[in-house]
Amino acid sequence: MPSTIYLVRHAESVHNVTKDFNIRDPELTDLGLTQASALATSFPALSSAAVVLASPMTRAIQTTLAAFGAIIEDGVELVLDPDLQERSDLPCDTGSDLATLGERFGHLGVGFQRSLEDHWYVKEGPYAADDEAVAARAKTVRRKLQELANRLAEDGVPETKRDIVVVTHGVFMKFLAEDSTIDLPKAGWKAYTVEAEGAEPALIPVE
C-alpha cells in the first residue's frame, strides 16, 4: 500500500485576522492554536504517520507542534523544510533567522541546524517569489515526497506506518498540488498519493 500524503494548511495566524501583511513571520492567534490543537485528536493519520514535514515559518511550526507534538515526541520524525515556505516576499511570508527560531523553538534541539541554512528565508534564487521559481520549488518537494515514500517501503516500514504529513501554506499548496482551486480552511487537510506521471511525480487526490 503506498504512502498517503496529507497536505495540511497552517492554522489561523495574526496576519490572517489583522490583514497587516507587514508583520514579519507572524504567530498563530489564540483561535489558531485551538484549531491546530483540535487536530491532535481528529487527524486521521496520527497512528500511521512516519514523518512530518513542515515549513520553517513560525505559524507552520506552531501548527505542527500543537497538532502533532505528541506523535513527534513518540518518535515520528520532524523535518523543517525551507522548500515548504510560503510564496510571496511580503514580511508576513518571510521567515525568521536561526537565532530567532532558536529562541522560539529551541526545545526542538538540533533540527534547525540539520535542515536550515542561515539565510533560508531570503526570497532569492530557488525561494524567489515569481511563479517560475515557486513551481520549480514545488516540483522539488514532489520529488522528495516520492523518494521518501519509496524509502519507507524499501526500509521495510510497515504499511500501516508509512504516511507522510506536510504542513505548509495556502498559496504554496496550490503549486504543490498543481491545483489552483485548492483552498483549504485554516488547519484543514487533504489526502493524496504520490505517483509518477511521465517523467515527474504528481500528487493524486485520494477519493
Determine the pLDDT at residue 95. Answer: 97
Q: Which class for 149: exposed (0-12), middle (13-18), buried (19 or more C-beta within 10 A)?
A: buried
Closest listed residue to residue 170, CA positions, set 76, 68, 92, 71: 92
39 contacts 9 by C-beta, under 8 angstroms: no
Q: Would you identify the CATH topology of the domain 5-205?
A: Rossmann fold (3.40.50)
Helix, strand or coil, per DSSP, at residue 151: helix
pLDDT band at 188 (very low <50, low <70, confident <90, very high): very high
pTM of the model: 0.95
User: Per-residue pLDDT tens for 39-97?
Assistant: 999 999 999 999 999 999 999 999 999 999 999 999 999 999 999 999 999 999 999 99
In the numeric block, which cell numbers belong to residue 115? 535542515
Question: Residue type at 48?
Answer: S
Mean pLDDT for the stretch of residues 105-111: 67
DSSP strands (E only) in 87-148: none
Q: What does the DSSP 8-state code read for residue 13?
A: B
Task: Quick: pLDDT tens for 138-166.
Answer: 999 999 999 999 999 999 999 999 999 99
Residue 129 phi, psi (nearest 5): -90, 5
